[in-house]
Amino acid sequence: MKVCLSCGQVAENPDAFCPRCGKPLPASTAASPAAVYVYQMPSAPSPSADELPLMERFGTASLLGLLAFLVSTASGAVAIVYLRGAILINATNHAVTISSNVVPLLWFSAGVEAISLAILIGSLYYYRHAFVGLRDRAPTFSTPATLAVLAMAGAALLIVASFVEVQYTVGLIHCLNQPGATAGSCAGGRAVLASLALVGVAAIVFFIGLVGVLIGVWRVGVRYRTDLPRIGSVLSIFPYINWIGMLLNYLGAAQIRSRLRGGGGPGSGGTA
């Protein structure tokens, strides 16, 4: 089909002149096929040697996490062993007596736990810095970087909650050691509920943030095609064996740094 440029009349292709006004018609041109546009998701850049500082932070974070979990586990084990001998139950009337000597241990345990959590906050800080650097190359690290802040806030709340719990427990011990005192009269309903609520909120915030961090650790393993961080991210969530996970993360970071120093990325830039 042709369209007259003078009057707009539509004419057949063979026509040389407009049937309405007689003006010459434009030459016929074959219809060009419609352009097809295909959008491709941008792929993450392949790992390169300039990511070495990020993996050094990742290794530091894993080492600090390993230290924090070891300190916490050792402190908890000592406290459990000591408390077993400090709690006395009368076989006749089943009265519970708790040695006053346990009070200094409780404060000591709370202090050690606070140190452990402070070290863990440092670990989370370095993890976040590694994720922030990686998110410019792979957007999937954006969420772990954000949730690392949540984990740090949760750990700080747990420090406060641990001292609140000790304060309440010390008061409970003194009350139970009074003549004629019972667990029901010493419990203090509102106080225990407030204490447990604080611990619960802190634990939930910390756990959500920690899961996000461990997802980021998993994605580090995926990006660099290294199994150790992937295994470590799973083990790090379980109590008493989480230090093994942190150890694997540290060894994985060392393995990645060795590969990056070798001049080539350990894999393509694929992310999960």
Instruction: In whole angstroms, give the CA distance from residue 244 to residue 65.
Output: 10
Residue listed under structure tokens 């609140």: 164
Q: Is residue 28 part of a domain?
A: no
Residue 239 lies in a domain: yes
What confidence score (pLDDT) does residue 161 get?
86
What CA dihedral angle connects 245, 251, 252 and 253, to 10 degrees? 110
Domain that holds residue 193: 59-256
Contact 199, 191 (CB under 8 A): no
* pLDDT for res 39: 47
* DSSP 8-class letter at 27: P
* Residue 91, domain member (yes or no): yes
Show pLDDT as tens, one digit a residue, over the chain (272 residues): 677 777 777 777 777 778 777 778 777 644 444 444 554 545 567 778 889 999 999 999 999 999 998 888 777 776 666 666 566 555 565 555 666 667 777 788 888 889 999 999 999 999 999 999 999 888 999 999 999 999 999 999 999 988 888 777 777 667 766 666 555 666 666 666 777 788 889 999 999 999 999 999 999 999 999 999 999 999 988 877 888 999 999 999 999 999 888 855 444 444 44
* pLDDT given at position 91: 55
The sign one gets for the Cα dihedral 242, 245, 249, 250 is positive
For residues 241 and 70, give the distance between their C-alpha atoms in angstroms, rounded to a whole number: 10
Residue 264 lies in a domain: no
> Is 4 part of a structural domain of the chain?
no
258's CB contacts (< 8 A; 6+ apart) are none
The position carrying tokens 């106080």 is 191
Q: How far apart are CA 87 and CA 96, in angstroms?
A: 7
pTM: 0.71
How many structural domains is the chain composed of? 1
Name the token pair of 108. Answer: 């000591």
Backbone angles phi, psi at 22, to 5 degrees: 75, 5
CA atoms within 13 A on the CB side of 261: 9
Pairing of strands 96-98, 10-11: unpaired
In a domain, 16, yes or no: no
Kindly tell me the number of DSSP H helices and DSSP E strands found in the chain: 7, 4
Q: Is residue 89 in some structural domain?
A: yes
* Alpha helices per DSSP H over 177-241: 183-187, 189-223, 227-235
How distant, in Å, are the alpha carbons of 63, 120, 123, 242, 245 from that of 57?
Answer: 10, 14, 9, 19, 17
Tokens, residue 164: 């609140």
- Give the 3-state secondary structure of residue 113: helix
User: Is there a domain that residue 35 lies in?
Assistant: no
